[in-house]
Structure 1
């Protein structure tokens, strides 16, 4: 079968899920005929994705999160104002026409939508009848048995509305989950394992002497540098995407800041003592697979829900800042990883091939 991938390009999670699924489908003789990525003008695609997807990539302007003045957490008001401006509305209209034209040109058998809103709206707006499958952890938000999206106020309701809008036009939704659960037939949601790349599943895990971090929001950098300067005995390696940063920056104490490097990140994930992250679904799953305790510092409502879900699964503790004193205390009583999670992840290929290769 011929597949067209359309991917939300904010962060690395949906991009790495696409790499994993592309590898699975290609191993079984299927073809990825095109890749479209929606992103904000301020973001650039990670080099590892451009290299590994193995196809020309069509990029288009898409809705984005806007952060608060400290660049630490998402501002709901700023996000709405940013995406509802007349300039952005015109850009989104151009993007939808581009998506439509690429679908007509490539003529795939199925569209795989990695949580990209404009693609779903395009399919509905232009009456495109090609089957489309949505893949994302966020589709769990509207699953009738999912408890972590309840009682989350106006932000939670808006998040669930966004998930419903992104689901429109999809014939089936595959909700990536930390654990198995029943299908929600009313909402066309099937619960499936996380999509982790083979590189993330391979290698031997060990316990080194350093803490690993992944920082999407660069506003945390000042606090982190201050803490490391006051704790020079503690080794900390953090990956970030600051556009002006060198590839490797040896900062205060034993803090090392790295530009995003997929291979180095995975190597360090396997050998770290523990992992500090903003609770993006993909990197949490990678850490859980290698049995790494985590401190989860969500930057917005979606990540707060992810963090609560992961903590309930025994992945680690939640926090509202880089509180490495508390994390070191947690690591001292290191919990045992759940072997059931590895078995769940290892079953992914069978699930996805069964669900996506049906005519």
Structure 2
């Protein structure tokens, strides 16, 4: 079969998922014709994405977040207003998606949680079958537990529905197995982890790893290093105007985002300090590492991620980075190794699920469906 990917470029996890599925599909003899990836002024598409996706890559301007001056908090209403003003630009992006679809004539379009991907399928109704993949779609499962905030929840669900508009299949990526849905179009898979994660050996050296997507969290990591001079921190950030590496303190060093070096350090660290990005938490748990998860302020999706991950045994939820708290947690948590083993067992079911998915695409002619509903939780659950 021939595939076209549409990938949200705002989160690095979506790009990692796309790389993983690209490799899986091509190894099974399928063709990924091209990848459209969302771009914005806030984020630079990392070099590793271009290096590991071996097909034409087409950047498209896509909706993105607006942050405060410290680049720490997501400003919800400013984000909505900003993106409404860019409707003309996004309309041009939709036309570009249609040109790609017309040119490559894929059998299947896979959307990695990009809003324009869902809008394109809902408005243009291409002949290709449309599949939506992302951990956010777990919100469609009746047993999913949401973070607090009614308005934020409503906006999150609206965005999630829009990205999956008309999807013939919706695939939710999850840290743990969920009971099968009564709707065959809704599937739950283990995370799409990059293949390199299975090739590294997990050890435990005398340092903690920190990953901060928004550079505004630099001051918090610096403060934690100052308060805990006997604890070492190796941190990664996306601050292109700073030296690489940058060592502000004897026990603290910052590296620019580098996927290979990051994976090497993750495999060797004692524990992880991170915002609540899904993919990073999954990789840490696969390597048997526990995380302290600090959701980006104003980012409701990350609040849900952190809650879900803490319930799955991936670590602890916190409102701020607290190295001493993580240090104590690791010293007293007697179940952390068992949680990692359970996650690996779940992860190893992925290939079987993908084979079943591909067979179902080849055997049936999925037609565009209505946007996926949110199931109502039963009273006894």
Instruction: Identify the TM-score tier after normalising by the shorter chain.
Output: over 0.9
The 1-side partners of 2:90 and 2:180 are apart by 33
The 1-side partners of 2:220 and 2:342 are apart by 36
The 2-side partners of 1:14 and 1:166 are apart by 13
CA contact (8 A) 1:41 1:61 kept: no
- 1:217 Cα shift? 1.2
Equivalent of 1:350, from 332, 352, 366? Answer: 352
Instruction: State the match for 1:109 in structure 2.
Output: 107
Q: TM-score, normalised by structure 2?
A: 0.90
Instruction: State the match for 1:132 in structure 2.
Output: 130
Equivalent of 1:292, from 289, 309, 316? Answer: 289
Residue 278, structure 1, aligned to residue 275, structure 2: yes
CA contact (8 A) 2:147 2:303 kept: no
Q: 1:151 to 1:42 in 2, by over 3 A?
A: closer
- 1:233 Cα shift? 2.2
C-alpha deviations, 1:184-237, integer Å up to 9, x for none?
Answer: 344932111111011012221111111001101111101221331343322101
Instruction: State the match for 2:76 in structure 1.
Output: 76
- 1:123 Cα shift? 1.7
- 1:70 Cα shift? 2.9
Q: 1:23 to 1:121 in 2, by over 3 A?
A: same
Q: TM-score, normalised by structure 1?
A: 0.95
Ranges in structure 1 where 5+ consecutive residues have no aligned partner: none
Instruction: State the match for 2:327 in structure 1.
Output: 328
- 1:150 Cα shift? 6.3
The 2-side partners of 1:246 and 1:356 are apart by 46
The 2-side partners of 1:227 and 1:292 are apart by 20
Alignment of 1:1-359 (within 5 A): 1-85=1-85, 88-146=86-144, 148-149=145-146, 151-186=148-183, 188-299=185-296, 300-335=299-334, 336-337=336-337, 338=339, 339-357=341-359, 358-359=361-362
RCO higher in 1 or 2 (8 Å CA, sep ≥ 6)? 2
The 1-side partners of 2:184 and 2:39 are apart by 27
The 2-side partners of 1:187 and 1:70 are apart by 44
Q: Which of structure 1's runs of 4+ aligned residues deviate more than 4 A?
A: none
Size of the aligned set, in residue pairs, is 356
State the Cα RMSD in Å: 1.5
- 1:334 Cα shift? 4.0
The 2-side partners of 1:275 and 1:62 are apart by 31
CA contact (8 A) 2:34 2:56 kept: yes
The 2-side partners of 1:75 and 1:198 are apart by 35
CA contact (8 A) 1:229 1:253 kept: no
C-alpha deviations, 1:281-312, integer Å up to 9, x for none?
Answer: 11111011111011000011101111011101
CA contact (8 A) 1:142 1:163 kept: no
